[in-house]
Amino acid sequence: MSDVIDGLFGATAFVAVGVVLLVGGFLLTDWLTPGALRHQIWSERNRNAAIFLSSALIGVGGIVFTSIITTYDDLGTGLASTAIFGVLGLLLMAAAFWLVDMLTPGRLGEVIVDPEPHPAVWVSSAMNVAIAAIVSASIS
């Protein structure tokens, strides 16, 4: 029974770290795009913003999943690893966003919250998922 209780505690701790990272992904995406992201998605039903935010959340979820599945025997080390790799993924996604923003015409943040569908949203979203996959692959 103590293994079950330890497992429940570990799962709860990993979920807490994961939720913090997902909230961080939301806040980072909100910071990178003009206007209030909640309003853009839930009130204005902006599909571009929803696609881009979803890609960031899927990416963070993939990093957290990989970190948990390859976790260390020690719960504390596993939690620290999950947090560190999750933050790394978020920072790399933000850096890639800025790089694409500098290399392409217009402002990427404005494109992402534009109500008209734009292919740059799909490209930027794929970039988020690709970066998360690279970070996930680097976890050992």
In the chain the first and final C-alpha atoms are separated, in Å, by 30
In this predicted structure, what is the pLDDT of residue 1?
Answer: 81
In this predicted structure, what is the pLDDT of residue 82?
Answer: 95
Token pair of 32 as six digits: 């990178």
Q: Please write the tens of the pLDDT for every residue from 53-104.
A: 999 999 999 999 999 999 878 899 999 999 999 999 999 999 999 999 999 9
In this predicted structure, what is the pLDDT of residue 71?
Answer: 81
In this predicted structure, what is the pLDDT of residue 7?
Answer: 86
In this predicted structure, what is the pLDDT of residue 56?
Answer: 96
- Average confidence score pLDDT of the chain: 94
Instruction: Check pLDDT > 80 for residue 140.
Output: no
Residue with tokens 């993939």: 62
The model's pTM: 0.92
In this predicted structure, what is the pLDDT of residue 3?
Answer: 84
Distances (CA, A) of 4 to 8, 71, 100, 128: 6, 18, 46, 35
What does the alpha-carbon distance between residue 53 and residue 97 come to, in Å, rounded to a whole number?
12
